[in-house]
Structure 1
Amino acid sequence: MEMMLDMHLASDLGQSRPPRIEDYCERSFTFDPLQPDEDSDIVIETTERRLIRLTMLACDVGARFARDQIAMDPAVWMLNPRRIFLGKRPLEACQSLEPFIQGIILHAASPNLDADPEDVIAMAQSELGSGRAASSKQAKEKRRRSPTLRLYSCCVEGSEGFGRYVQAFCAIIAPNESTVRDRLRRRFGLLLAREAIVRRGFDGNDAFANALLSQAARQLLMEMAAGSAGKSDKIADLYVEQRFTAKGITH
């Protein structure tokens, strides 16, 4: 296996300090990471904190690619320049705090594999809010303008990849179907969220729901559907899932 890495030496920059990983971005060479280390290998200065950031992002990328069944090798994403990092590779950029956070947000909140940095900032603001405490008057105004929340029933069924098949019933309180599908995407991946059946309210005679829900749960959802139209800042979601593998069913 060979990986092409773009690098340049600190000496090319007239630097006397040990090279850092950000310095290696212009010179191309080939090496095989499965071969033993060599004396000629370039030593990169970093810290444990920065390596942990890189490890956390790599885990998120791998999990997201598996969840969304993306054909690209996640290592390819990590080793190639990205617009979100102003042309730097995640390998180089995401040891620093701000790019690391941007990468985490991208894979948590966006269906895309790249974005402009300002778009990621907008995603973060949408997800987390401004972080400033609202006054009592502002809080009341926010509640007055909050959207009407409704109960949605969702049936999710399909392959998660790696020989695993999922069936799930989800009851989600949300203002619209778009919000519902976004939550499904985060839990089940992009493909399953797109194919999920989403309906307003709850049908107590639905065969899919009857197969996965207890009688008490069905009764509760019917009562919620009858009085679900209202205004609230609180969201309550219910997920009942079962998974089939070559060895059987896992709940």
Structure 2
Amino acid sequence: MASETAGRFERESVKHDPMSWMLAPRQVFDGATAIDACLSRDACLRGILVHGLGLGLDVERAAIDALMAEDDDDFDEREAEYLYGDRPRGIGNPARGRASRATRLRLYTATICDTRDNTMFQAFHASVARSAVEVRKRLSRSLGAELAEVAEIRLGLHEASPLVIALVPAAVIEVIRQMQRDCASPGAKTFEVNIHQSIQA
């Protein structure tokens, strides 16, 4: 959160000390300071959204939660199916139509926010695959099985996601958009974007 705060204040020429912001009580964290609150994943995501969208120095928590809920509600039925990969989700087999759609190459994105040992690890991944299972295997190879397990994998690019706002530069967003429009291109199978950062509390 410290890097997000300092980066935003520098980017927007905010005449406010980033550390003072981190140490002052904030409505968005229910009156707690950012340093204390951001040990929680959800609170940290709220802070990232505040700075990523430039929503002033403080906002009501309810407003940020509403934005996060809108992003969560953006799933469609197929995304929900792919999100959990090969993990069991109930009795029965997927419909034939869904199975056939899963064989096509599509753009998938994944975000990870994991906190352990007072360090928050954040990551963004984008690649072209036939299913979320394939993407999760890639993440397992590059980041390890534990982080791959907590990855949120989604069809397409979701630019309103707090971690996408925080981690992915505009120029990279445009490259990903281009690939999303042309997953049949020769370079699609090797296309991959990985952005990581670690924040120590």
Q: Which has the larger radius of gyration?
A: 1
Name the structure with the higher helix share.
2
- Which TM-score applies when normalising by structure 2? 0.44
> Scaled by the length of structure 1, what TM-score is found?
0.36
